[in-house]
Amino acid sequence: MSNQDELFNPLDPEVIRDPYPVYRRLREEDPVHWHSELGAWVLTRHADCLQALKNPAVFAADFRKVGIPTPGPLLSLQTLDPPDQTPLRHFAIDALRSQDLGTLERNAEERAARLLDEIAGRDSINFVTDFATPFTLGTISQLVGMPPPEADEEWRQRNDELHRSMDAGLDPNSEEAGLAARQHFSDFVGRWLAGGPTEGISGFVATNRSKVDYTDAVLNNSLRAFWHAGFEVPARFLGNALTTLLNRPELLPQFFADVDAGVEELVRFSGPVHVVSRVCTEDVTIDDRRLRRGDMVIIVLAAANRDPARFDDPENLVLTRSPNPHLGFGRGAHSCLGNAVARIEARVALPALLRRFPDLRIDGELAWWENATLRGHSAIPVALHGEPAAVR
Ligand code: HEM
């Protein structure tokens, strides 16, 4: 995409580093913005985003409804809408309910403690690769009942390609490799399910396969989507949350006093999923703008989460904020299935890290993934211990 739109160039490196001023301008100046280069409407007000999320019959995730084919590796519970999606979504909810989240939380605590022990002897780490990713990958692997993949070069490359392709609407060049990566991971999941797993969510799926009437491809893709969303998104969230908290160290006592409220506010303030996309299945009016059947709609959750019409003092981190009707986990038929797991991971990992290393601080340049859809850091260099005492 060239950078021609006056208001919104999501892949501009400066916007990737800090998109919030742009979101604010969009919300104030043109909240139902036609982006001619993207060929899409951009929604930034909380009320409009919520309306779109809650109405999949009109704002569909299933683009086939307007004649746009969905490539095979993308067909999953994320790209079907009710009623087609409903039995699969219920199946996924049943699979989650079959798991003991109390045990998952205790194991997450042990995993965090182990990882912190491993890094404790070092002066500095990259929080993303040395803690957040192994922590969330270990947690989701246990939940799904699949071994964590070998993080070899091929895995890293496929993973990277899949992430880039989340911005395929902005950068069509990324699409093909992203589809191949999805297929690769779905095949991996398919082989795992065929082996008759007994543990975790994959055990539930293998045992109860006959209760849902979907093709193996749709089922494999859905489990792959769950598994993949289950480590990358919370890892990015932990990084965003950590940098946000380290910017406001005076708020840490408040965070420790009510971690759950704090995590909720961190999802609102610095959640990783910035946009989700839908397509209009019929003509619809928002404000005085006429959206036509077939038009793409970009729902900017991260802009909605700072809408002053919905939140007092929205640009401020208020760790005690309640109620907190943020859209960081989406809403409606596609809302986040892993929100309980994500909340557990954050309330375990962040206090464990910050209590273990009270002098922890950013120590170097932050690096961002070049993603507009899923915002987060590729590197967060942190020093773990206090300043070394001056040598006399
Ligand atoms: C802080 C961490 C997380 C955030 C902010 C987050 C956010 C979101 C959002 C905004 C959506 C809605 C997408 C849409 O409307 O198109 C979503 C969907 C989803 N999330 Fe999460 N997520 C997180 C962690 C997780 C975890 C840990 C899992 C799995 C254990 C997970 C699994 C899913 C799945 C499977 C969907 C698709 C649901 C559907 O389309 O029916 N997420 N997530």
Q: How many CB atoms lie within 10 A of CB 125?
A: 21
pLDDT of residue 165: 87
CB of 199 within 8 A of CB of 233?
no
- Chain centre distance of CA 362: 23
Rounded distance between C-alpha atoms, residue 242 and residue 362, angstroms: 10
- Residue 104: CB within 6 Å of ligand 1? no
Query: Is 335 a domain residue?
Result: yes
Tokens of 285: 């009016």
* Domain region containing 132: 13-383
CA-96 nearest atom, ligand 1: 30
pLDDT of residue 43: 98
- Residue 56: CB within 6 Å of ligand 1? no
Q: Which of 388, 379, 380 is nearest to 359 (CA)?
A: 388
Of all protein residues, the one whose alpha carbon is nearest to atom 39 of ligand 1 is: 334
Q: Are strands 284-286 and 289-291 parallel, antiparallel or unpaired?
A: antiparallel
Q: Count up the domains in the chain and report the number.
A: 1
Q: Which of 171, 177, 172 is nearest to 157 (CA)?
A: 177
Task: Please report the DSSP string for 110-128 in residue order.
Answer: HHHHHHHHHHTTSSEEEHI
Tokens of 355: 């209590």
Rounded distance between C-alpha atoms, residue 11 and residue 268, angstroms: 22
CA-227 nearest atom, ligand 1: 29
CA–centroid distance, residue 291 to ligand 1 (Å): 27
pLDDT of residue 390: 47
- Residue 19: CB within 6 Å of ligand 1? no
Rounded distance between C-alpha atoms, residue 121 and residue 285, angstroms: 59
Query: Is 392 a domain residue?
Result: no
Query: Is 202 a domain residue?
Result: yes
CA–centroid distance, residue 288 to ligand 1 (Å): 32
CA–centroid distance, residue 78 to ligand 1 (Å): 9
CA-222 nearest atom, ligand 1: 35
CB of 43 within 8 A of CB of 291?
no
Test site for ligand 1: of 233, 242, 277, most ligand atoms within 8 A of the Cβ: 233
CA–centroid distance, residue 123 to ligand 1 (Å): 34
pLDDT of residue 174: 83
Query: Is 8 a domain residue?
Result: no
Q: What is the CATH number of the domain that holds 273?
A: 1.10.630.10
pLDDT along the chain (392 residues), means of 10: 75 93 97 94 98 98 97 95 98 98 98 98 96 96 89 84 84 87 92 94 96 96 94 97 97 98 98 97 97 97 98 98 98 98 98 97 95 94 78 38
- Residue 302: CB within 6 Å of ligand 1? no
Position 98, amino acid: S
Query: Is 97 a domain residue?
Result: yes
Query: Is 349 a domain residue?
Result: yes
Query: Is 223 a domain residue?
Result: yes
Q: How many CB atoms lie within 10 A of CB 126?
A: 18
